[in-house]
A and B are shown apart, each in its own frame.
Chain A
Amino acid sequence: MTTTSEAISPPVINRPNSTSVGTIVWLGSEVMFFAGLFAMYFSLKAGAPDLWANDAQILNVPFALINTLILVSSSFTAQFGVFAAERLQPRRTGASPAKWGMIEWFFLTYILGGIFVAGQIWEYAMLVSEGITLSSNSYGSAFYITTGFHAMHVTGGLVAFLLIIGRAYAAKNFGHKEATSAIVVSYYWHFVDVVWIGLFVVVYILK
């Protein structure tokens, strides 16, 4: 009789976590969203090369490079937060970063991301004062729409980090549910970081 019951019981299926897969598929759609923005940028550039040669000189590349490094470093701090979340450790057990929990690393990530957005706003203010606005010409439109949509994604990621930190505070027992949401927010953050590296190369290096 034991053989029959073994035959009836269904095999255990080890599926990848549906939250993670859903996030990655959604990030795939975000890839295509930014593909549209890159396509817009390059087609406007192809239509007005003289405008690009003239207006792109105003960009403050060293400042943008520092801002880029800040955003890239925030991806590393987010990943250390994920390692802490995978250890199911929400809070620090000591002052040194080696003993930090997810909350401390995500707060640091939040601060770095906040500096990046603040730097973007400062850069926009400088450019507007020099006459490049969203409606000034096609270069202004392309610059603000591509970097602006990216900055909105970063801002959305910052809100997501706050919500995840709040969840860690709300949980008496920090479990796999909390860890999963922390991991998928880090996927999003890494994605936004990679998009910025692409934008930085296209907008600031390939002027």
Chain B
Amino acid sequence: MRSNIGLQMVMAAYLAVATVGYVIVSYLVFGYVEPIGTIVIGFSVLLSLLIAFFLYSGLSKDSELPEDRLDGEIADDSGEVGFFSPWSWWPLALGLACAMLFLSLAVGWWVTFIAVPLAIVAVLGFVYEYSRGAHAH
């Protein structure tokens, strides 16, 4: 995990330098510190630091990943990554509900009266899929 943290820290350092550079260049070119780019580049420092800090806070002594080792191979990275539902239909239902919500912007607000109940059903089905029925535990 050290290499992942290192990558994020390199990005944070680069973006911090880029922010300072942007402030200086925008002041020289426009005569004032341009706010939009300064804020957005500055926040991307936070974006990298957030992920780096999270990985660092979860770092334990036995958390060496294959990408941290010089002799690591791609194949060493195989194995379980996490739990992913193999056959769930709920993401499709939720995606359809979201598509209908956006469709309502083009067609008319009345479509939301169909899309929102569908979205509520899809979210509840998605969240509780592994809490009920055959998967109740």
Chain A positions near chain B (C-beta within 8 angstroms): 10-11, 13-21, 24-25, 27-29, 31-32, 34-36, 38-40, 42-43, 46, 163, 166-167, 170-173, 175, 177
Contacts and interface: CB of A to CB of B under 8 A. Distances in A.
A48 B63 CA distance: 52
Contacts of A35: 39-40, 42-44
B34 to A, nearest CB: 8
B36 A42 contact: yes
Contacts of A171: 131, 137
- Interface of A, secondary structure class, is helix
Query: Top 8 nearest A-B pairs by Cβ distance?
Result: A18-B82, A35-B43, A42-B35, A170-B131, A39-B36, A39-B39, A24-B54, A28-B47
Contacts of A19: 82
A79 B81 CA distance: 27
A16 B1 contact: yes
Interface string B109-124: 0000000000000011
B79 A170 contact: no
A27 B44 contact: no
B130 A25 contact: no
A10 B63 contact: no
A40 B62 CA distance: 44
Contacts of A34: 43
8 contacts: A14-B63, A15-B65, A16-B58, A27-B50, A39-B39, A170-B132, A177-B83, A177-B130
B134 interface: no
Nearest to B8: A28
B62 A14 contact: yes
A74 to B, nearest CB: 21
Given A172-B137, A173-B137, A10 B43 contact: no
